C-alpha cells in the first residue's frame, strides 16, 4: 500500500529507504493491530500451516526495508514508489476484508502517530518481539476481544464474522481425518 495526497504525490516517498514519518506511522498502526486482524489474514485451519520459521512468512510484527521475513516490508525502489507490503495474509484471505483492515490499521497508525519501533536489521526469525497468534483459536480470541475491529468494521460485523469462523472451526475439529482414523482408530 502507498498513500497519495490530493495532488497525487506519494506521502511515503523519501530518499530514505525507510520512508517518511507518515510511512512509519502507518506501519506502526499495522503493527499495533496485527493481532486483531489475524482471524482475517489467516481465516482457516490450513492458514496456520505456513507459519514456519525461515519460510519467508512473518512470525512477529517486525518491519524492515526489503526483508521478506518481516510482517511489513518496505521494498527497495525509487522514492516515488515507496510503499509498505503487508506480508501476513495468505491467499485464502478475503481480499475485501484484508484491504479494509489494512487500510484501517494504517489509518489508526496515522491518526494516533504510532511508532513501529526500529527497522529490523538481519534475520527476522532471530527477532525476539512477541509473536502474532499462530493458531486459529488464538486468532479468533484476539479478533473477538478487539476494540479496533469493532470500531472500524462495526459491532454487528465483528460478532457475525467471529460466529461463522467459530462454527467452521468447531466443524473442522469434529471431523476425524483419514490419518487420525489410521493412527488411532484401527488396529493391525
**pLDDT at site 27:** 98
What pLDDT, on a 0 to 100 scale, did the predictor assign at position 179? 86
62 in a domain, yes or no? yes
Q: pLDDT tens digits for 17-65?
A: 888 999 999 999 999 999 999 999 999 999 999 988 888 889 999 999 9
Residue 75 within any structural domain of the chain: yes
In a domain, 172, yes or no: yes
Question: Do strands 72-74 and 63-65 pair parallel, antiparallel, or not at all (unpaired)?
Answer: parallel
Q: Which residues make Cβ contacts (< 8 Å) with residue 49, sequence separation at least 6?
A: none
Look at residue 52 in the predicted model and tell me its pLDDT: 86
User: Is residue 2 in some structural domain?
Assistant: no
Identify the pLDDT of residue 176.
85
68-81: string of b/e by CB count within 10 Å (b at 16+)? ebbbbbbeeeeeee
Determine, yes or no, domain membership for 136.
Answer: yes
The residue-averaged pLDDT of 145-161 equals 97
Predicted local distance difference test score (pLDDT) of residue 187 = 65
**Residue whose entry in the numeric block shows the C-alpha cell 490419518:** 179
Residue 76: domain span: 21-184
pLDDT, the chain, mean: 93
pLDDT at residue 129, as a whole number: 64
Please give the residue that has the higher pLDDT: either 88 or 182: 88
Query: Whole-model pTM?
Result: 0.90
Q: Answer whether residue 11 is part of any domain.
A: no
For 108-120, how does the pLDDT look when each residue is reduced to its tens digit (9 = 90+)?
999 999 999 999 9
| CA dist., res. 39 & res. 163, Å (int) | 12
In angstroms, what CA-CA distances link 49 with 43, 75, 90, 135, 160? 12, 26, 11, 9, 25
Average pLDDT value for residue range 85-96: 95
Q: How confident is the model at residue 174 (pLDDT cuts 50, 70, 90)?
A: confident
CATH number of the domain that residue 42 is part of: 3.30.590.10
pLDDT range class, residue 158, cuts 50, 70, 90? very high
Is 148 inside any structural domain? yes
Q: How does DSSP classify residue 153? A: H
Examine residue 137 and state whether it is found in any structural domain, yes or no. Answer: yes
Number of folded domains that form the chain: 1
Between 33 and 123, residue with greater pLDDT: 33
Supply the Cα-derived Rg of the chain in whole angstroms: 18
Is 177 a residue whose pLDDT tops 90?
Answer: no
- Residue 130: the pLDDT is 62
Amino acid at each position: 500500500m502507498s498513500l497519495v495526497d490530493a495532488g497525487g504525490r506519494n506521502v511515503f516517498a523519501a530518499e530514505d529507504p525507510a520512508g517518511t514519518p507518515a510511512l512509519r506511522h502507518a506501519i506502526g498502526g499495522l503493527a499495533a493491530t496485527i493481532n486483531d486482524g489475524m482471524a482475517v489474514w489467516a481465516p482457516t485451519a490450513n492458514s496456520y500451516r505456513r507459519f514456519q520459521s525461515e519460510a519467508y512468512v512473518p512470525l512477529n510484527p517486525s518491519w524492515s526495508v526489503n526483508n521478506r521475513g518481516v510482517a511489513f516490508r518496505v521494498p527497495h525502489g525509487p522514492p516515488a514508489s515507496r510503499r509498505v507490503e503487508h506480508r501476513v495474509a495468505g491467499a485464502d484471505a478475503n481480499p475485501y476484508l484484508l484491504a479494509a483492515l489494512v487500510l484501517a490499521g494504517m489509518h489508526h497508525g496515522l491518526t494516533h502517530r504510532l511508532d513501529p519501533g526500529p527497522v529490523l536489521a538481519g534475520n527476522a526469525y532471530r527477532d525476539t518481539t512477541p509473536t502474532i497468534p499462530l493458531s486459529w483459536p488464538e486468532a479468533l480470541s484476539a479478533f473477538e476481544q478487539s476494540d479496533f475491529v469493532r470500531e472500524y468494521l462495526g459491532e454487528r460485523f465483528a460478532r457475525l464474522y467471529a460466529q461463522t469462523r467459530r462454527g467452521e472451526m468447531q466443524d473442522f475439529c469434529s471431523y476425524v481425518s483419514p490419518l487420525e482414523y489410521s493412527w488411532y482408530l484401527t488396529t493391525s
